[in-house]
Structure 1
Amino acid sequence: MLYISTYAKMLKRDFPVLILSLFILCGFFVFMQHAFRASVAIQEGVISKDMRNINVEEAVPAPVEVFFGDELFEKELQRRKLIEPKDSREVKILTEATPTLGQRLKKLLKCNDRQLRLEKIQYGNYWLLRNYIRGTISTSVGCADTITLTTNGDYTFFDSLPFLTERWQAPISFAIFSPGYDFNATLSSIQFVRNCLRESQYIRDYVTFHIYFPPTDMPEYAPLTEKEALLWPYDCEAAPPYMDVDRNTMYKTEHNMTYPINVGRNIARKSVNTYFIFASDIELYPMPDLPRLFLEMVERNRSVYLDNKELRVFTIPVFEVTKDSQVPETKTQLVEMLRTHKAIPFHSKICKNCHLVPKHNEWVNASDTNELSLFSVTKREGKFHYWEPFYISDNQEPIFDERVTWEGQSNKRIQGYAMCLLKYDYFVLHPAFLVHSPGIKYFDKNSPRLSYVPATNKLIKQVIQPEYRILFGTNKKCFT
């Protein structure tokens, strides 16, 4: 108790001195703060020798921020431009993020992005509802982000669409011939595949539907907008409207109409928003992940594709498998199926040389890899003068001639003839491949299509070939 009493007396005696010392210390800090600001202001040229002439009453001091410790030190470094403000450094880090593959290729290819929009236009002898129902991802995909598969058909081909879309998982541009009341079945089929299947999400994401028909064979009613078209009724409990269709009851058949396959091919090609396309048939299934693998190959092979002025396309070998077989996922599986005769080159029983790629045996024997490469190159000449390859392109090759039909055959070979005259190079990709919907194709000597062939051949020889020689040049090595 004695000690406590003594300390209390000392505190009472020295308290005024402590208070005075505290005021002196605070004054010292205030003085140092103003001195620091004054030195900064002098260095910045704010204070001049003419300070006496300034009207103090008119001068309005700017609000001052007070900083201490590390923050004060950082502000001084920023003032001396030794470091950047923290927020600008954060922005710089964000803006210098590594560009994506699509962004890098966009710069290299010098392509422009564009959105898919609904258009109602006259296309030759047809009314075209372009981008009538769009894939949600495909609508605004970047021009070099992926590849668009372009295809065509009528609503009876929709059974191939789910598997194709799941396997491709990239934009698909699908042109559908729908005259008269076939239009109704087409919309019902679109709604069914978009809403009622395990693969429906892929179809909603990626598939853009274009519908075309002659003005003489209009539907009775067509929804005016995409939103209205998506309200078209469907029944997921019913059988798919595209399955087991009696073709004799279709409007096209009842009105004795041929199928304008090349019109559909060109519509699908002209309706894309990506730099690269893959013009294919809806029943051909590509190996998984092909779009990404191809774009990565393009970036690795700039000297071959981007820096070379020669016209070129990138061919994919095609195969078909037996009816009871599964479509292979990898080249390794494909080769095993070839060994056991579960798979054969496409159309081997009809026209083997029409689809066999150069160095076929070497391609088959080459080891499977995780990257695409350019395996071989040729022109459509010599033993390949009847070649009808499927290929990825930059969409600059000649269009498909719309004067021929599916029934008359030779619909792809005419374009091949034009590309031969233009001296196109065909690079074969490895290990990429296509497989037709299961079932081996055989020549049918009783096919009703054969009755259309003579007229088509006459048109090609007497009209189309002379025109093409004027437009694209001559080459005795080129044939249709």
Structure 2
Amino acid sequence: MTRCLRISTAYSLRWMMRHSTALLFISFIGVVTFILHLYAFKHEDKFRYRDIIGDFDYRPGAFLKGLQPNENTSYCEFNYGLPEALNWHSVRVHKTPEGFVTNTHNVIYNAIKGTAYANFSKYDALTYATQATPEFIYHIVEIARFWDGPISLAVFVPDYDLYITMQIMDHLCHCYSEMSKVSLHLFYPIKIPPRIPFQIDMRATVPQTTMSSNVTKSITQTLQEKMEKYKQLNKTTRPEYIKWVRQTKIQRMMSIMSQRPLMPPILQFEDCMGSNIVIPTYRKINNMLYPINVGRNVARNASLTNYFIVSDIEMVPSEGLATKFLRMVNKLMGRKKRKEGCIFSKTIFVVPLFEVGRGEPIPRDKDTLSSLVAAKRASYFHAKTCSHCQRFPGLQTWLSRPSPVGIEPMMIAHREYPYHRWEPLYIGTQKEPWYNEILVWEGRQDKMTQMLELCLQNYRLIVLDGAFLCHAASKSGSKNGQAIRHNNRWYKKLIDRLKSKYEDRTLCRLSWGS
């Protein structure tokens, strides 16, 4: 056997040496062909949808382009003197729903009261609960356009951000009839209450007065004394005096500027599509962190329906999501039990999240979405920036299943390893724990502790088929080191709090950094 191998090896080497030039030429041709194929694939003209929505220049409310507001009709019911003024004597101020550690924010409910579903039973509607800062409010028209139920919107309004909010909401309420679905709630730092500056300026009118002769005399005398003092200075003391005067003036000017309230922009709207300018909000100018979980809790707490979904304002729902879900629940539970107020114990219904590529229209049905995912023009939400956050169990099964007529439960999942970092959006009830209000949006993973608590309570997560929320193409945001450290520091404390409250479940990964 060994002799045969030696002979075979010798013949192979002899043959390769004899044909080495041909082998090198064939190898060269193969490498060049492979490189050309790669180049052609990279520069291949792929089919692209026309730019409608999802582009970075996408403006929510584009379907309202060219329409002008109806000055005589508002589809919203404003309260407390809004939008022109905020009458504090008629306002009832509330604490935040969770109020963990120290209550640093206050809430004003129903600044606008939605009327479209006022006569519906709480068992016959599903609320879309969301939150925003003023620069994102215009996204609410996309939700109002497609959501078949009431909408609860909480907006963060420190200082003059209330005025910006009222400008936008008043404009939208004169433009689009579906805004009657929206109830608006305000939340703000206790130390920075909302205000409408021009209302305050009109009330704070100061009568003109003339100076008395004594005052004029004292000013003249003071100036003369300063001039005499300046003349007595020599070459050494004069520069020091000038430097001291300049520093004093600068300090005085900075003190006046810090005490002077910043004035908000007055927005100009060409049509109902809205303004395309970057809005300089009070929060942005003062680098304030956004307490997103306060907004989530406020919007959820204001919901008047049995079931609701706490979602983000940039998420667009699939066709008939609310109606189809209620039909599914009635079928699973029975109409009689639903009317009696029954709910599924320790059960939430997960709505899968997706995002489309730049220039793609947001799909309205599962078949279109699945086609986009297959063409790599859509993916599950945050697939590139946070792969574990929204990748749900059974993702490939969900995509490959035929689209159901309505909505149906696909599988029962748990927020357990290896999905212990999963942060789904779900349809639930007031039985679920609050979001931790101390965590901020810029610090990321702000829903993580609530999901961990649901795992410790052994909740079932029903993944829904036939329903989804979709986000337009988005740029990855920059990191905020201070906010991340803030969330990390509090996350550790919240973990300790949960350890003392619940028994450990190994699969929940009840430890920091797991």
> Fold match, TM over 0.5?
yes
Counterpart amino acid of residue 414 in structure 2:
K
The alpha-carbon deviation at position 277 of structure 1 amounts to 0.5
Q: Determine whether 1:134 maps to 2:113.
A: yes
Contact persistence 2:134–2:281 (CA under 8 A): no
Counterpart amino acid of residue 121 in structure 1:
V
Equivalent-residue separation in structure 1 for 2:437 and 2:344 (angstroms): 28
1:411-457 CA-partner distances (Å, limit 9, x unpaired): 11111011111111000001111101x21554x5xx24233212321
- 1:217 is paired with a residue of what secondary structure? coil
Contact persistence 1:404–1:456 (CA under 8 A): yes
Map of 2:124 onto structure 1 = 145
> Within 5 A, what are the aligned runs for 1:96-245?
120-123=92-95, 124-196=103-175, 200-203=176-179, 205-221=180-196, 237=270, 243-245=276-278
Counterpart amino acid of residue 486 in structure 2:
A
Counterpart amino acid of residue 282 in structure 2:
Y
Ranges in structure 1 where 5+ consecutive residues have no aligned partner: 1-115, 225-232
The alpha-carbon deviation at position 471 of structure 1 amounts to 2.6
Counterpart amino acid of residue 150 in structure 2:
P
The alpha-carbon deviation at position 171 of structure 1 amounts to 0.6
Map of 1:283 onto structure 2 = 314
Counterpart amino acid of residue 324 in structure 1:
G
Out of 270, 273, 281, the position equivalent to 2:301 is 270
Map of 1:478 onto structure 2 = 508
Out of 412, 418, 428, the position equivalent to 1:383 is 418
Ranges in structure 2 where 5+ consecutive residues have no aligned partner: 1-77, 81-90, 96-102, 200-265
Equivalent-residue separation in structure 1 for 2:367 and 2:442 (angstroms): 36
Equivalent-residue separation in structure 2 for 1:348 and 1:386 (angstroms): 13
The alpha-carbon deviation at position 254 of structure 1 amounts to 2.6
CA RMSD, Structure 1 to Structure 2 (Å): 2.7
Contact persistence 1:153–1:264 (CA under 8 A): yes
TM-score, length basis structure 2: 0.63
TM-score, length basis structure 1: 0.67
> Within 5 A, what are the aligned runs for 1:44-63?
none
Structure having greater relative contact order (Cα 8 Å, sep ≥ 6): 2
Equivalent-residue separation in structure 2 for 1:325 and 1:126 (angstroms): 39
Aligned residue-pair number: 347
Equivalent-residue separation in structure 2 for 1:289 and 1:385 (angstroms): 31
> Within 5 A, what are the aligned runs for 1:325-344?
325-344=360-379
1:312-344 CA-partner distances (Å, limit 9, x unpaired): 100011110012010111101111111111111
Counterpart amino acid of residue 446 in structure 2:
N
Equivalent-residue separation in structure 1 for 2:134 and 2:275 (angstroms): 6
Contact persistence 1:297–1:372 (CA under 8 A): yes
Counting aligned pairs with the same residue, the percent is: 28
Equivalent-residue separation in structure 2 for 1:373 and 1:469 (angstroms): 35
1:257-284 CA-partner distances (Å, limit 9, x unpaired): 2111000000001011100001000011
1:22-50 CA-partner distances (Å, limit 9, x unpaired): xxxxxxxxxxxxxxxxxxxxxxxxxxxxx
- Larger Rg: 1 or 2? 1
- 2:191 is paired with a residue of what secondary structure? helix
Counterpart amino acid of residue 144 in structure 1:
Y
Counterpart amino acid of residue 328 in structure 1:
P
Counterpart amino acid of residue 92 in structure 2:
K
Equivalent-residue separation in structure 1 for 2:135 and 2:267 (angstroms): 16
Equivalent-residue separation in structure 2 for 1:356 and 1:448 (angstroms): 22
Equivalent-residue separation in structure 2 for 1:475 and 1:242 (angstroms): 50
Counterpart amino acid of residue 368 in structure 2:
Q
